[in-house]
Structures are given as structure tokens and as C-alpha cells.
Amino acid sequence: MSAVPQQASASPMPEGVTDPNYHPEPGRLGNLTQVQLHTLEKLKKELQDEGHFDEKRMDDAFLLRMVKICNTDRCVLSPCVDIWCLGGRPISVCTVSSQRGGSLIRRLPGPGDLGRKMFLFLRARKFDVVKAKEMLVAEEKWRKEFGVDDIVANFDFKEKAVVDKYYPQYYHKSDKDGRPVYIERLGQLNIKELYAATTQERQLQRLVFEYEKFLTDRLPACAKACGHPVETSCTILDLGGVSLSNFIRVKDYVFAASSIGQDRYPETMGKFYIINAPWAFTAVWSVIKGWLDEVTVNKIKILGGSYKDELLKQIPKENLPKEFGGACVCAGGCSLSDAGPWNPQ
């Protein structure tokens, strides 16, 4: 395999890159300037000085520390680059030599963890330290109030199969850039049946659970599969059959979900396709746009019924569900398969 090209930047190529054609865009991992790196240091210092810095969740140096100490008197840690899956969670297995031959296992931080978290919030605010700090402090406060850690540890969406009939929302395989594909079929929404099976509160908890899994499970698995960092998703929002009355009834959830994605999990949207958009959607879109920042709006493509060729430019035919013009037909249905690099069959 040919060598990975060096980037004309102050930051090194991320560890583990095997794709020789990987050329990160400016402001991405492997292509950061000295000024951008300095803002990361400045943000960390200000957070520390003001008492907002959480070493476990924000510090890059945490990558070098052990979560579970080996049961030996003397350990020598060697570099670890292999990623394995243990109980559905990504971990890094590090070789340790010692007098008693112990071993060490630590969880591999995802792109939303630790120092990368500060980096993502900086990029979301165009490396403005003041704005990034405000956003990060607000996010940390929200995590405690919303109970994110408890959701990650204990949330069980037992009604998933029933909810899937009335509001399908799911991740399915990856696009040509290695991103996980997320599909949401708002046009199939049946409000009455949906809220007979679940509540808006549980829908939002599920959303947060999936965002966390996206960061800690899906992105690392996709990155390993394609050989370069994967930081964002490719979303398909299907509006086929959507009615204005249904949208109005679910708008509180849509706006709350949009706010969580934009303010709490920034820089996770890569491509966004709105398909089967009816003519009346123009009026609705003018309302939705007001809730989104300019960067987000520019990532969105609004398509009518002739969307298949556009989707296939971005998503391999074998990865796209058949109902959207692809060739994938998962046993039991694509929406419940959770098929992708994060879930090897």
C-alpha cells in the first residue's frame, strides 16, 4: 500500500489512517493550522481557570491513561492501534508486558470524547474560543440535567419494533465516504399510533442514546472499515406522504431534536438529503431554516421524487435499501437490522 500523503498543516495525520487517498479538508483532523491548534490549548486553559474543565471527558492526555489498571506490580505499556469489539462496544487492546504477564484494556474514545470534544465545539464556532466555551459549558450543564450518562447506561427502547411501524428512524450501513447512513421516514408518521406506543420524552431519550452510540460505536467502526477518520453522518429524510397537519402535531419533537443535534452534538452532519419533498414543503422549510445555522443549511439538499440517481452518487447501491433505489434487502427489514460496520454479521 502506498504511503498516506502528508498534509501541509501543523497537525499530524491521525493515527491508524490506511487510506492513501485520504485528504482531510482544512479544519479537519490531519489538516489543522498552528492557530487552530493554539485555540484548542487556549480553550482548555480557560475552561480550567473557570472551573469548567472535566479532565475525564475533555483532556486529550486522557487517551494515554488507563481506565482499568492491569493487575501487576510493574507494567510496561506498548502502543496500541488495534480496535476490537467487546460486547458491542469499541475498545483498544494494548499489549502490556510485566513480571506476571498482566494485560490492560481500555475503551477507545469516540470522536465526541475527551479533547476531540473541545475540537468539535471549536470547529462548530469557527474556532472562536469565547463562543465555543459558552457552547461547551451549556452542553455539559445540559448533560447533567437531561441525565445523559444514565441514558447511556440504562436506556432500553423496548417499543422499537412497534415505533418503527409508525415513525421509522434508523442507521443502515455507510456511504461512499465511509459515513454511517441515517434514514428517517417522516412521511410514514402516524401520530396517534406512535404516541400510543411511546412518548415524546422517550423519543428524545432514544435520540440522545443513538447520538452517543453514533459517537462511541458507529463512527469508530466506520473509520476502521474505510481506513480514515469518519466524523459525520449521511442522512436521508423521506417526506413521501407527509401531511402539514401531521408535521404541526410533531413539530415540538422535530424542533427539540434539531436543537439537541445542533447544540449538543455539533459537527456530526455530513450530507443531508430531503427526498419526496412536496411543493408545500417550501413553506415548512422556511420555518425550519430559522432553527438551523448557515453551515447546516448549506449541507442540505432538497429533492423531489426524482432522487434515486442523486442518492446513488453518494451511497453504494448494495448499501441503499431497495425502497430508495438501492439493492439492499435485509432479513426482517432494513429498518430493524442495524446493519453496518459497527454490527458485523
**How confident is the model over 209-264, as pLDDT tens digits?**
999 999 989 999 999 999 988 999 999 999 998 877 777 888 899 899 999 999 99
SS3 29: coil
DSSP 8-state code for residue 271: E
**The CATH number fitting domain 153-336, selected from 3.90.1150.10, 3.40.50.2300, 3.40.525.10, 3.40.50.620:** 3.40.525.10
Asked whether the beta carbons of 205 and 151 are under 8 A apart, the reply is yes
pLDDT digits (tens, 9 = 90+) for 14-53: 667 888 888 888 877 778 788 888 888 899 899 999 998 8
Strand 96-98 versus strand 75-77 pairing type: antiparallel
Side by side, the strands of the sheet bearing 104-107 are 83-86, 89-94, 104-107
Binned at pLDDT 50, 70 and 90, residue 10 comes out as low
Q: Which residue has the higher pLDDT, 279 or 190?
A: 190
pTM for this prediction: 0.79
Asked whether the beta carbons of 235 and 92 are under 8 A apart, the reply is no
Confidence at residue 248, expressed as pLDDT on a 0 to 100 scale: 81
Confidence at residue 136, expressed as pLDDT on a 0 to 100 scale: 93
Looking at 25-39, 100-114, 256-270, 312-326, which range is the least confident one? 100-114
Q: Could you give the CA distance from residue 253 to residue 284 in angstroms, rounded to a whole number?
A: 15
Helices (H), ranges, 178-328: 191-197, 200-213, 219-226, 244-264, 281-289, 294-298, 308-314
Domain boundaries along the sequence of the chain = 1-32, 36-146, 153-336
Binned at pLDDT 50, 70 and 90, residue 86 comes out as very low
- Phi and psi at residue 312, in whole multiples of 5°? -70, -15
pLDDT digits (tens, 9 = 90+) for 109-125: 333 333 568 888 999 99
Q: Which residue has the higher pLDDT, 345 or 124?
A: 124
Asked whether the beta carbons of 136 and 128 are under 8 A apart, the reply is no
Q: By percentage, how much of the chain surpasses pLDDT 70?
A: 78
Binned at pLDDT 50, 70 and 90, residue 88 comes out as very low
Q: By percentage, how much of the chain surpasses pLDDT 90?
A: 52
Name the one residue in this structure whose C-alpha cell is 494494548: 94
- Phi and psi at residue 237, in whole multiples of 5°? -110, 110
DSSP 8-state code for residue 2: P
Q: Could you please report the per-residue DSSP string of 198-221? A: --HHHHHHHHHHHHHHIIIIIHHH
- Sequence-separated (6 or more) residues with CB below 8 Å from residue 242: 186, 187, 189, 276, 278, 281
Q: Which three cell numbers stand for residue 165?
A: 411501524
Q: Side chain identity at 196, as an amino acid letter?
A: A
Q: Could you give the CA distance from residue 94 to residue 91 in angstroms, rounded to a whole number?
A: 10
